[in-house]
């Protein structure tokens, strides 16, 4: 289920993440079955015109990045992307220069203030036991004025995904990533076997994706997915700036590379200078099977 959040009043960080939604708007139409930017952006525009919200937020994932800029253009406002901290109703912090610096931005435009939020930068709020008092009012969006011209020129063709029981890359507790050092798609299967033993998600660098080792939905980095797992293991990853930008917030980073000068060691908590073709088989042999 895709979701955007809109609020009508100035908010603090506590308001945004600790208070439940007061109302839920449901847009029931086949036009929204697939996350095409044109109909979804038109929907945001329609809801904003009727609701007059002060802020519209979406996660900084493929869904949010696809829809929010187009919706912002329709509303004639400038969106603020990849927010990692909220200082007030109009002041936000976002990374720049591939995460090497942080920029504080103050929004001075007209309503709504539109944001994409990097969800890995915020703690998961505790769920209140008093669910009755937190029930939200659910109402249908009037789509009578939502014509066929809102659909746009793009169309849904097909959806492909890997048939796997591994955790989702964006929310996994453990991520095992392989880089160009694995040399081939066949060798990359070692990463998949190790991830299976650890109950981890599989990630890849842009170089590994470009080489055809794995599909691009496994790419971690500035132009891929932003992850912040409890444990991030990198094998054959040199540590390009754009890759580090996507995983530097991981709690513990373990790197294995035969090049002792690889930049990945500068951000790693634990580093091993060694041949991954020797290290991974040894790990596979010594790690117990996942229960």
252 marked ligand binding residue: no
Distances (CA, A) of 62 to 86, 171, 259: 21, 14, 33
105 marked ligand binding residue: no
171 marked ligand binding residue: no
d(CA 250, CA 117): 17
d(CA 61, CA 77): 20
d(CA 264, CA 267): 6
145 marked ligand binding residue: no
238 marked ligand binding residue: yes
205 marked ligand binding residue: yes
d(CA 199, CA 290): 7
Two structure tokens written together for 229: 């797992």
SS3 content of the chain, % helix, strand, coil (to 5): 30, 25, 45
266 marked ligand binding residue: no
d(CA 138, CA 47): 14
240 marked ligand binding residue: yes
Residue listed under structure tokens 């997915």: 225
191 marked ligand binding residue: no
Task: Classify the phi-psi angles of 52: left when phi > 0, otherwise alpha if psi is within -120 to 50, otherwise beta.
Answer: left
239 marked ligand binding residue: yes
280 marked ligand binding residue: no
219 marked ligand binding residue: yes
β-sheet with 91-96: strand ranges across: 85-86, 91-96, 101-106
34 marked ligand binding residue: no
243 marked ligand binding residue: yes
162 marked ligand binding residue: no
Annotated binding residues for FAD: 180, 205-206, 219-223, 236-243, 257
Annotated binding residues: 180, 205-206, 219-223, 236-243, 257
């Amino acid at each position: 289920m895709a979701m955007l959040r809109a609020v009508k009043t100035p908010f603090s960080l506590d308001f945004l993440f600790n208070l439940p939604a007061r109302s839920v708007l449901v847009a029931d139409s086949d036009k929204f079955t697939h996350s095409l930017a044109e109909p979804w952006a038109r929907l945001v525009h329609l809801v904003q015109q009727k609701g007059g919200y002060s802020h519209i937020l979406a996660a900084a994932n493929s869904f949010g990045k696809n829809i929010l800029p187009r919706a912002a253009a329709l509303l004639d406002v400038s969106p603020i992307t990849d927010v990692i901290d909220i200082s007030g109703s109009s002041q936000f912090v976002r990374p720049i220069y591939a995460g090497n610096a942080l920029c504080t931005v103050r929004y001075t435009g007209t309503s709504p203030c539109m944001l994409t939020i990097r969800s890995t930068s915020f703690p998961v709020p505790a769920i209140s036991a008093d669910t009755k008092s937190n029930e939200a009012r659910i109402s249908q969006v009037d789509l009578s004025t939502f014509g066929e011209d809102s659909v746009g020129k793009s169309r849904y063709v097909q959806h492909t995904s890997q048939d796997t029981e591994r955790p989702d890359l964006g929310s996994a507790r453990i991520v095992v990533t392989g880089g160009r050092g694995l040399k081939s798609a066949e060798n990359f299967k070692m990463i998949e076997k190790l991830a299976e033993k650890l109950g981890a998600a599989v990630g890849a660098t842009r170089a590994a994706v470009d080489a055809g080792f794995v599909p691009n939905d496994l790419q971690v980095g500035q132009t891929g997915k932003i992850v912040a797992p409890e444990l991030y293991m990198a094998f054959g990853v040199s540590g390009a700036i754009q890759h580090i930008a996507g995983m530097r917030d991981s709690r513990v980073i373990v790197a294995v590379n035969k090049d002792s000068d690889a930049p990945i060691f500068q951000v790693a908590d634990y580093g091993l200078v060694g041949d991954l073709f020797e290290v991974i088989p040894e790990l596979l042999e010594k790690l117990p099977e996942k229960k």
